[in-house]
Copies of this chain bind each other. A is one copy, B any other.
């Protein structure tokens, strides 16, 4: 049965969810809310949303509310949204960190109407114009601490992810934040540092950036990711990001000292160890 869906935050993630859910008919109507008037108009023009409403109106008549704002904004908005919704409305978020948002509403009387989720997909681009069909297809979708939400709410959101084409995993929020700190947040941190470093060196020589072909551009790709989205992620997840950054720095220092000391054998072993990532990554 198709649903009235409200999406708060009409960026890459919110917009792409809207496009997919409309296409498959899971959404009867998409109502959009965004901080930016410009984004709201753009989303209407792009067919991402059917209409724009105030937060209050958008939330009150929705079957599903999707919070797709930066994590700090979602944490601030969620209690207010839970206050406003009717008893049958289900709220989900899509943030990259999960413990802090769960903590923020843990004593809310409508806690069970909220399903914390994380679609593991994205690009380095942002805003409604970055949204596209199929972003979540065959990607992992995560629901955290499902036992704390009502079973019907969890079932509805699992159906939503099914329509996005995602492969759903249920996970504990702490474990989610820790693992995502390793595989996603660390990658972003080192990519930002790479961009800062190379820009420092190559200020006056734009041509050089094209030299490195696939190598540099794939490593530096994440450094394009929006600061508004990523600053809150790092801050919310610093508990896990900081220790993994330490371990990373330790390993990179090892690499450096092997190279410095011309210790070919150790350098060989280091790279060989890294090569094992081949077996862990798809394709």
- Hey, which bits of chain A sit against chain B, CB under 8 A? 120-123, 139-140, 142, 169, 179-180, 182-184, 186-202, 205-227, 230-231, 234-235, 238, 241-242, 244-249, 251-253, 255-256, 259-260, 262, 264, 267-268, 270-278, 280-282
Contact = CB atoms under 8 A, between A and B. Distances in A.
6 contacts: A195-B275, A197-B244, A197-B247, A210-B282, A224-B281, A227-B268
Contacts of A142: 211
A199 B273 contact: yes
A213 B138 CA distance: 10
Contacts of A251: 193, 196-197, 200
Contact of A198 (B215, B222, B277): B277
A116 to B, nearest CB: 15
Contacts of A219: 187, 190-191, 218-219, 221-222
Contact of A270 (B169, B183, B192, B241): B192
Given A202-B183, A224-B278, A280-B206, A213 B259 contact: no
Contacts of A182: 197-198, 201-202, 208
Contact of A231 (B188, B201, B206, B271): B271
A187 B216 contact: yes
Contacts of A223: 274-275, 277
B252 A245 contact: yes
Main SS class of interface, A: helix
Nearest to A198: B182
A193 B200 CA distance: 22
Nearest to A120: B213
A208 B227 contact: no
Closest CB pairs A-B (n = 4): A183-B212, A195-B274, A195-B277, A192-B274
A242 B271 contact: no
A124 to B, nearest CB: 8
Contact of A221 (B206, B218, B249): B218
A272 B213 CA distance: 23
A65 to B, nearest CB: 24
Contacts of A207: 169
Given A184-B216, A193-B274, A215-B222, 7 more contacts: A182-B198, A182-B202, A183-B202, A194-B248, A209-B281, A231-B268, A238-B260
A271 B202 contact: no
A170 B189 CA distance: 34
A178 to B, nearest CB: 9
Contacts of A215: 122, 183-184, 187-188, 222
A174 B195 CA distance: 22
